[in-house]
Amino acid sequence: MNRKIVNSQEHQEQIFTTKRTTIYLPEHLLLHKPIKEINKAFAHTHTIIQQLKDRKSFLHLYRHFYSLLFSQHKLKGFQINVMAENRANLYKIKQLTGWSQSQVTLICFAEKIKDII
């Protein structure tokens, strides 16, 4: 049975060595340089992590992006290489919320648009 026990240290190292992943975003989101734009949007993962630390701000974030997270739009896949720091942040957000990398990426784009406006 020991062979079935997952060593968390090995699991984390494996997560941080995986570089290439597929992110699914709505087709109506127009990206001219998808890899570059997605990696730039990941800069907002720090903001999301800060909001997840407090229950009140997490609930506000969840309510604000609920329709965005669970919408049924047609999706388009983008294969990208995610930088190490961004992979760590995506993993942390997934541990805290259970959201997929694609959902977190969509929230990052929404945060990016909010900063521009």
* Residues 108 and 45: beta-carbon distance below 8 Å: yes
Region 48-67 average pLDDT: 86
- Specify if 36 maps to a domain: yes
- Specify if 16 maps to a domain: no
- Specify if 2 maps to a domain: no
What residues contact 42, with CB distance under 8 A and at least 6 apart? 82, 83, 86, 89, 90, 105, 108
> How many domains in the chain?
1
> Which residues are registered as beta bridge partners of 23?
78
pTM of the prediction? Answer: 0.74
Q: Is the pLDDT of residue 117 over 50?
A: no
- Specify if 27 maps to a domain: yes
Range of the domain at 36: 22-116
State how far the Cα of 23 lies from the Cα of 103, in Å rounded to an integer: 9
- Specify if 34 maps to a domain: yes
Q: State residue 77's pLDDT score.
A: 92
Q: State residue 111's pLDDT score.
A: 80
Q: State residue 6's pLDDT score.
A: 59
User: Which token pair is 69?
Assistant: 């997270």
pLDDT tens digits along 59-97? 888 888 877 777 777 889 999 988 888 899 999 999 988
State how far the Cα of 109 lies from the Cα of 41, in Å rounded to an integer: 6
- Specify if 68 maps to a domain: yes
- Specify if 44 maps to a domain: yes
State how far the Cα of 63 lies from the Cα of 65, in Å rounded to an integer: 6
- Specify if 60 maps to a domain: yes
Instruction: Work out the widest C-alpha separation in the chain, in whole angstroms.
Output: 55
pLDDT tens digits along 1-40? 556 565 665 555 555 555 888 999 988 888 899 888 998 8
